[in-house]
Chain A
């Protein structure tokens, strides 16, 4: 395997958590709920999955625990913003703070533990294709899962009745309610889905990407995934493109650090964050205000009686 191929492989690994987290948030936002707690849910996913994987010596149980932890955090968020109609921005921030703290408590006994790499599934034939073969057809379950998830979310949102319902609720909850659509129930499910995805993305980071747990390991990836949703104009296909661009940026900056171009390492570490700002700016330059944003995004809904 050449260095070039090795770099491409790590890009796939680095992009996958972005993609999974962004897809979950995308669905939640399409239903009209802005959950800024992505970073905290991912941290919880990373800590809980790692703890479960080490305890039961099973990465699969770990991944399940991660998704469950993310969904539980999302349930708490849903109680506050859907049940009590509290401010979504503030509650999302609170969820992030809570998740970072709780994950620290849960992960503390597991600092220093290390997991073995999880198995790769090689698809015969396809995996022998030059370059793309090893890249996309000899990967772990999460990578395949994330690609399938992209298709599934796209199909669900744009080709099913339930998806149409979810989008119309996100677009205008008052009209949707008047039509008899169950606004809060759909939003609850969308938020739970988002949480499970964030937990899974966190699980991927601790079980596959680093294979250990350390506090602060999410390092702003949740926030970048939030930016990805804006970048994707709330479309799953573009979330895929965006996730791989950001994955590539974060891997290339690591290689640039190792190559020592004479630039301080901090400049390169800042690249993903600066790139996020730049991308958001370029998008706005092209389209004016954020396009594709659901009409009711972020506003609480209290049905009139």
Chain B
């Protein structure tokens, strides 16, 4: 027995649009099956994972807080993935943005520094992520080093740097030896959009990034260059588009947005430097980018959906004693389903029996 792929002569745009939804449903069924195998009720798990986080305003705010870094990073990644370049080190760029931005917060701690601190921190955050993202891009364009491996290795190095800073030079001397920095001053804290809420300005940045990206992708020469470089590299070269410049540009954008997400998370959400500041947002954002079909509005929706399962995973751990690893496994299955659905939009699968082999 084997599978045979038959190209579909014309791909229906409706199918293309609902493919991620189908993928999501299939992933849910598989996850439900796994939960059933573990001897739990898939129905109550579904309630805790999906319905519970939508139940009250506190949970809804939490949803936006979690979706913010995912959307920001995934929007950046969509530039890379569109150009068929594989930045899988967004987690490291997130951390480096947070580090560089936090440096200013700690340097101005206890001084009367004015309201310029937080904008400057955001700029430093973008810069930190951008420069860190440019390392694999530079190694690729200048020396031809594979960007997948270098960007990933840099994640570990960024995490170790953060760990060192939080336990070493940046540790709060009055913090009872806890490996964390002082709490940022109000001037170094990213404010909430509405007073008293938990949703900080990062959510607004994410929204702006979505709108700007939608414009860039569909209405600008740069967006055209990206898509052409990704879909038909030879044609792009003939059109006079320099692939190296494209590489550097998309890594700078995605690194910058990941860095922005990092400093927004630290200054708007955590409020201090800790040995670990991300539950893997940079990796989860890869799933978000594909689930959103690399389309900015799709990514926004995907970020909210994935944030839902992340929060659901946390409450499932508390309420049902279901391990957090289940969420991770679910994300893996989901990404496999999304990529399969993407491919199956263009192909029809036929099972071909081979006599006794079948």
Interface residues of A (CB under 8 A from B): 36, 40, 76, 80, 83-87, 89-91, 93-105, 108, 184-185, 215, 220, 223, 226-227, 230, 264, 266-267, 269-270, 273-274, 276-277, 280-281, 284-285, 288-290, 300, 302, 305
Contact = CB atoms under 8 A, between A and B. Distances in A.
B197 to A, nearest CB: 32
Given A36-B148, A223-B153, A269-B160, A284 B331 contact: no
B332 A288 contact: no
B327 interface: yes
A84 B349 contact: yes
A277 B92 CA distance: 15
B323 A267 contact: no
A61 to B, nearest CB: 22
Interface stretch (B62-70, B183-191, B217-225, B335-343): B335-343
B160 A102 contact: no
Contacts of A94: 287, 332-333, 335-336, 339
Interface of B: 2-3, 5-7, 38, 86, 88, 139, 143-146, 148-150, 152-154, 156-157, 160-161, 163-164, 168, 283, 286-287, 290, 323-333, 335-336, 339-340, 342-344, 347, 349
Given A76-B336, A94-B339, A266 B349 contact: no
Contacts of A97: 283, 287, 328-329, 331-332, 335
Nearest to A88: B339
A181 B160 CA distance: 48
Given A215-B325, A226-B149, A277-B150, A288 B340 contact: no
A108 B323 contact: yes
Contacts of B283: 93, 97
A55 to B, nearest CB: 17
Given A83-B5, A90-B286, A100-B325, 6 more contacts: A90-B339, A93-B286, A94-B335, A98-B328, A230-B146, A276-B153
A105 B325 contact: yes
B23 to A, nearest CB: 11
A40 B329 contact: no
A86 B154 CA distance: 27
A277 B154 contact: yes
A284 to B, nearest CB: 4
Nearest to B139: A281
A230 B323 contact: no
A286 to B, nearest CB: 10
Contact of B145 (A84, A223, A281, A302): A281
Nearest to A230: B146
B336 A91 contact: yes
Given A99-B332, A288-B144, A274 B157 contact: yes
Given A91-B339, A276-B149, A290 B144 contact: yes
A274 B153 contact: yes
Contact of B149 (A223, A267, A285): A223
A264 to B, nearest CB: 5
A288 B161 CA distance: 31
Contact of A266 (B161, B286, B323, B331): B161
A14 to B, nearest CB: 17
A86 B164 contact: no
A36 B332 CA distance: 13
Given A97-B332, A284-B143, A105 B2 contact: no
Given A90-B335, A273-B156, A284 B144 contact: yes
Contacts of A108: 323, 325
Given A86-B340, A273-B153, A276-B153, A40 B2 contact: no
Contacts of B5: 83-85, 302
B156 A270 contact: yes
Contacts of A100: 325, 328, 332
A85 B343 CA distance: 6
A87 B342 contact: yes
A85 B6 CA distance: 11
A89 B85 CA distance: 10
13 contacts: A84-B343, A89-B148, A97-B283, A97-B335, A98-B335, A101-B325, A215-B325, A223-B153, A270-B161, A273-B153, A273-B157, A290-B144, A302-B7
Nearest to B161: A266
Contacts of A288: 144
- Most B-side CB within 10 Å, residue of A97, A105, A223, A288: A97
Contacts of A85: 5, 343, 347
A140 to B, nearest CB: 29
Contacts of A76: 336
Given A98-B329, A281-B139, A93 B88 contact: yes
B343 A87 contact: yes
A101 B332 contact: yes
A256 to B, nearest CB: 15
A86 B333 contact: no
Nearest to B329: A101
- Most A-side CB within 10 Å, residue of B150, B152, B283, B333: B152
Shortest beta-carbon contacts, A-B, top 3: A98-B332, A104-B325, A101-B328
Contact of A305 (B6, B152, B328): B6
Contacts of A89: 86, 148
Contacts of A300: 343
A86 B332 contact: no
B148 A270 contact: no
A95 B323 CA distance: 19
A234 B292 CA distance: 35
A252 to B, nearest CB: 17
Contacts of B336: 76, 80, 86, 91, 94-95, 98
A86 B325 CA distance: 25
Contact of A105 (B157, B163, B323, B339): B323
Contacts of B157: 270, 273-274
Contact of B168 (A80, A86, A91, A264): A264
A40 B332 CA distance: 10
